[in-house]
Amino acid sequence: MPNSNLQAFNLTVSTLLKNPSHLLPNLTISTFLDLPEQLGLHLTPTSTSTPTSKATSESSSKEKVTIRALVLDKDNTLCPPNTITFPPAYLHKLESLRTSPTSPFNQTTNPHGILIVSNTAGSRPESAAYENEARRLEQETLKHLKIPVFRVQPGKGRKPFCGPEVLAWFREKGVVDSADQVAVVGDRLGTDVLMAAQMGAWSVWCKNGVTHGVGKDAEKVNMDYRGFLAKVEIVMERYLRESRGLKPRVPRGWEA
């Protein structure tokens, strides 16, 4: 099924011209496997790379960021594009986030703390295929983790336009009080990072997408599923950060 998102592309171009800092992630990691469990410790106005040093881990701004909710992209963040087959390591990472007693997203202490927001599964009310993907994720692959898939309602837009509805979902469940308690994690600047900016949340960019294969490529750990636009975004991010000297925007109240 064609999955063009022309409106998102147009918004990305407009944002690049008017508010380019909205396309820069608050934190960049290689893949979802590198996502810190205590994510808030690594989200400061100057976090731009994978947190590896003790100094980075202990750096702080005026107060610590508290992340209570994770918005997770599906395609090329949790599994290869256009599949619902999770590489074992990626599923194990999700399981750790949901079962670790120290995780802010533990399914017992924070049952509604993780929401999958995809531009395929659950993204088109009129698409039986995308609804089937969402149901299979919820009822089969992720049933034991109780992770739901967000449903875009009729007349509403997909990422990056569904931020207000996503935030409302978390608020209705009592997970967050404000958008700065939400982190959006995904592989695309023009959808995931931009949606985080639109909704006033933090953004985490999985720069290399999914690198573990599935099926006949199950033994491979150096896969590259990134498409043309994703690779263009890598060049764009480097240009904005290095050549233009821009910093990522931060949620309201966290400005330096």
DSSP lists the bridge partners of residue 116 as: 72, 149
Indicate whether 198 belongs to any domain.
no
pLDDT grade, residue 45 (50/70/90)?
Answer: low
Which residues are CB-contacts of 39 (< 8 A; sequence separation ≥ 6)? Answer: 27, 65, 67, 70, 104, 183, 204
Domain for residue 1, yes or no?
Answer: no
Per-residue pLDDT tens for 53-72?
333 444 444 578 999 999 99
For 23-71, give the secondary structure using H, E and C. Answer: HCCCEEECCHHHCCCCHHHHCCCCCCCCCCCHHHHHCCCCCCCCCCEEE
pLDDT in tens, 193-244: 999 999 999 999 999 999 999 999 999 999 999 999 999 999 999 999 999 9
Q: What is the pLDDT of residues 83-102, one digit of tens each?
A: 999 999 999 999 999 999 99
pTM above threshold 0.85:
yes
The mean pLDDT of 2-28, rounded to a whole number, is: 89
pLDDT tens, residue by residue, 153-185:
998 999 999 999 999 999 999 999 999 999 999
So what's the pLDDT on residue 157? 92
Q: What percentage of the chain carries pLDDT values higher than 90? A: 86
Residue 104 lies in a domain: no
Question: Could you tell me if residue 22 is inside a domain?
Answer: no
**Mean pLDDT across 14-18:** 95
Query: What domain range includes position 34?
Result: 27-48+62-73+215-248
Average per-residue pLDDT in the chain?
92
Grade residue 44 by pLDDT with cuts at 50, 70 and 90.
confident
Q: Is 72 helix (H, G, I), strand (E, B) or coil?
A: strand
Alpha carbons 206 and 204: distance in angstroms, whole number: 7
Distance CA(256)–CA(26), nearest Å, equals 14
Residue 52 has pLDDT above 90, yes or no: no
Let me know if residue 119 belongs to a domain.
no
Is 38 inside any structural domain? yes
* Residue 50 binned pLDDT confidence (cut-offs 50, 70, 90): very low
Confidence of residue 8 (pLDDT cuts 50, 70, 90): confident
pLDDT at 46: 54
Q: What pLDDT shows up at residue 71?
A: 99
Q: How many domains does the chain have?
A: 1
Sign for the pseudo-dihedral over CA of 49, 50, 54, 56: positive
Tell me the per-residue pLDDT of 123-157, one tens digit each, with 9 for 90 and over: 988 899 999 999 999 999 999 999 999 999 998 99
Query: Which residues share a beta bridge with 205?
Result: 28, 186
The encoded tokens of residue 127 equal 């698409």
Q: Is residue 149 part of a domain?
A: no
Beta strands in 112-229 (DSSP E): 114-116, 182-186, 202-206
**Is 13 among the domain residues?**
no
Inter-CA distances, 25 with 37, 48, 132, 168, 190, Å? 18, 7, 31, 22, 11
